[in-house]
């Protein structure tokens, strides 16, 4: 492992790997470019739908069902099918990443909005707020931790899948990894893998910082959902009520 670390360090130290179209900076830029567009589009699509469903309470089972069902869809399959039926290029990759980014955001927004304390919503209504006001001024701010949780999940999914997209013909950091794979150059593969991991960790850290900045201090204690958060109910089921026939507890047991 020591030799490998030295090899990988040497790869990063080689200035040839930092310049030109195949250099690290350009690959990082490509990777960000592939990732940002689908994430922004997914925000534009998923947040309004999730908020509407969460606010009205109708169609919630559909949102949760779709989000859970999408988890089983292999990202490699989505990419290869779209590229096969469209063409090699950025458009099918963007659509594939969008398809993968929508469910966690949709589920996060829906869960966030529908879990806002009913008493808070009733209070807002009692104060004379209109329904759109309740949604934008009360429910969405309260839902922010879960919405950003969904955004973090979606972002990780997109960055990871954008790396896989190099297999279907685009570039980005995945290209470093796959070009290493093609010639059995493990050092280059490991360097590419490390770069992807660092990008994912940095993106997640940036979103965590954003969360700390924009979530109301009053909501600090609420748990934010992590990547691929359990959309199925995370609350433990209620214990059955004790019945009248409960036997007397044994008092002493040696």
Tokens 């490699």 belong to 76
Helix (H) / strand (E) element for 35: namely helix 24-56
76 touches another protein (CB under 8 A): yes
Cα distance between residue 103 and residue 112, in whole Å: 14
28 touches another protein (CB under 8 A): no
CB of 181 to another protein, least distance (A): 6
Q: Name which of 16 and 232 has its Cβ closer to another protein.
A: 232
Q: CB atoms < 10 A from the CB of 157, how many?
A: 25
Phi, psi angle pair for 235, to nearest 5°: -75, 140
220 touches another protein (CB under 8 A): no
Using CB under 8 A, which of the segments 67-75, 117-125, 141-149, 213-221 binds another protein?
67-75
Cα distance between residue 248 and residue 239, in whole Å: 19
Q: In 3-state terms, what secondary structure has residue 208?
A: helix
Closest CA to 22 of 180, 199, 158: 180
177 touches another protein (CB under 8 A): yes
140 touches another protein (CB under 8 A): no
Using CB under 8 A, which of the segments 32-40, 112-120, 127-135, 167-175 binds another protein?
167-175
171 touches another protein (CB under 8 A): no
Cα distance between residue 33 and residue 20, in whole Å: 17
Binder to another protein among 68, 115, 179, 222 (CB under 8 A)?
68
Using CB under 8 A, which of the segments 25-33, 57-65, 115-123, 186-194 binds another protein?
186-194
164 touches another protein (CB under 8 A): yes
Two tokens, residue 62:
């559909």
Closest CA to 73 of 42, 103, 116: 103
128 touches another protein (CB under 8 A): no
Two tokens, residue 96:
């594939």
What residues line the site for another protein (CB under 8 A)?
A: 1, 4, 68-69, 71-78, 80-81, 83-85, 156, 159-160, 163-164, 167-168, 174, 177-178, 181, 186, 189-190, 192-194, 196-197, 200-201, 204, 226-228, 230, 232-241, 243, 249-254
């Amino acid at each position: 492992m020591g030799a490998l670390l030295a090899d990988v360090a040497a790869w990063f130290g080689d200035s040839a790997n930092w310049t030109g179209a195949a250099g690290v900076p350009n690959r990082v830029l490509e990777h960000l470019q592939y990732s940002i567009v689908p994430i922004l589009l997914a925000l534009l699509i998923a947040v309004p739908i999730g908020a509407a469903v969460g606010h009205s309470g109708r169609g919630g089972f559909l949102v949760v069902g779709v989000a859970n069902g999408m988890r089983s869809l292999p990202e490699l399959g989505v990419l290869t099918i779209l590229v096969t039926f469209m063409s090699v290029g950025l458009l099918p990759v963007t659509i594939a990443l969008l398809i993968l980014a929508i469910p966690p955001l949709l589920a996060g927004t829906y869960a966030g909005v529908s879990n806002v304390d009913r008493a808070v919503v009733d209070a807002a209504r009692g104060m004379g707020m209109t329904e759109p006001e309740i949604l934008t001024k009360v429910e969405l701010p309260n839902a922010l931790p879960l919405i950003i949780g969904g955004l973090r999940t979606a972002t990780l999914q997109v960055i990871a899948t954008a790396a896989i997209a190099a297999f279907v013909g685009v570039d980005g950091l995945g290209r470093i990894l796959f070009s290493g794979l093609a010639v059995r150059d493990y050092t280059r593969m490991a360097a590419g893998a490390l770069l992807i991991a660092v990008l994912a960790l940095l993106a997640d850290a940036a979103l965590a910082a954003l969360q700390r900045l924009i979530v109301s201090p009053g909501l600090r204690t609420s748990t934010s959902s992590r990547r691929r958060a359990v959309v199925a109910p995370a609350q433990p089921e209620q214990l059955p009520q004790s019945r009248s026939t409960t036997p007397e507890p044994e008092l002493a047991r040696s």
